[in-house]
Amino acid sequence: MQAAAFAPGHITGFFKAEVEPIKPELKGSIGAGFCIKEGVTTKVKITTSDKPGFGITVTGYKSDNTQVSEFVAREFLKITKANYFFEIEHHSEIPVGYGLGSSGAVALSLAFALNKALGTNLSRTQVGQIAHNAEIHCKTGLGTVLSSYHGGFEIRTKHGAPGIGSLKKIHTDYSAIVICFSPISTKKFIGTQLSKINGLGGKMVTKLLKSRDQMEFLDMSLEFAKYVGVITPKMQQVIDDLQQHGFKCGIAMFGETVFTLIPKAREPEVLQVLEKYHDGIIIKTEIDKSGARAS
Q: In tens digits, what is the pLDDT along the chain, a chain of 295 residues? A: 999 999 999 999 999 988 787 899 999 999 999 999 999 999 999 999 988 999 999 999 988 789 999 999 999 999 998 899 999 999 999 999 899 999 999 999 999 999 999 999 999 999 999 999 999 999 888 889 999 999 999 999 999 999 999 999 999 999 999 999 988 765 665 555 666 678 889 999 999 999 999 999 999 999 999 988 889 999 999 999 999 999 999 999 888 999 999 999 999 999 999 999 999 999 999 999 999 999 8
Cα angle: 238, vertex 239, 245; to 5 degrees: 90
* Ranges of each domain in the chain: 1-295
- Strand pairing report for 53-60 and 84-92: parallel
Under the phi-then-psi rule, with left for phi > 0, alpha for psi from -120 to 50, and beta for the rest, what region is 36?
Answer: beta
For residue 12, what are the β-bridge partners? 33
How far is Cα 272 from Cα 261, in angstroms, rounded to an integer? 15
The CA distance from 80 to 16, in Å, is: 36
pTM given for the model: 0.94
CATH number 3.30.230.120 given to 1-295: yes
